[in-house]
Amino acid sequence: MKTEIVVMENFTSQHIILGNYYLNIYGIDINNHKERYFTIGENKRKKFSFSNIPKQISIVSSNKDTHKEEFVNYQLIKAQINPSLSPKMRHELFDVLYTYRNAFALDNEPLGTIKENEVDIKLKIDRPYPPVLGRPAYPASARAREALKKSSKS
């Protein structure tokens, strides 16, 4: 039997709920649509996907550590951290990312998410080139270029 467990803060029920009636009341998707999800309470628009729940569970001791562990487990689960970092260096990196997390994303958004500020830059690399690309890399006179060649050979 395959079991999925969802852990939520401030959830009123203290029992495991079985049966279609209760699953429907608490917003569990019992129809198994394309994406399996659950909702909380009467807000059926906000859906939480079962597939987005990280598989890593850790035990923490204090409230601050709880928030940091959640940050590490949810935000950094897909991060590609250099494997050559020592555990101490890795811990320090997580501390810096957690302390300054608002510099990398807004609250309740994954790291690196920048909504409504996307930039679309189209580079033209076909002829005729834009004026900036058409210029020589080092704008210098013929005499200056000759001096550069001589100094680079010696």
> Comparing 87 with 48, which gets the higher pLDDT?
87
> Comparing 60 with 37, which gets the higher pLDDT?
37
* Mean per-residue pLDDT, 125-143: 67
What residues does each domain of the chain span? 1-53
Residue type, 99: T
Residue position matching structure tokens 């709880």: 66
Contact 94/76 with Cβ under 8 angstroms?
yes
| pLDDT of 146 higher than 80 | yes
Q: What pLDDT score was predicted for residue 152?
A: 77
Q: How far apart are CA 115 and CA 16, in angstroms?
A: 38
Tokens representing 1?
Answer: 């039997």
| pLDDT of 39 higher than 60 | yes
* Mean per-residue pLDDT, 127-141: 65
For residue 104, give every residue at least 6 positions away whose Cβ sits within 8 Å of its Cβ, in sequence order, or none: 97, 111, 112
Q: What percent of the chain has pLDDT over 70?
A: 39
| pLDDT of 93 higher than 80 | yes
Q: Which residues pair with 43 in a beta bridge?
A: 40
Of the given ranges (10-19, 62-71, 97-106), which has the lowest mean pLDDT?
10-19
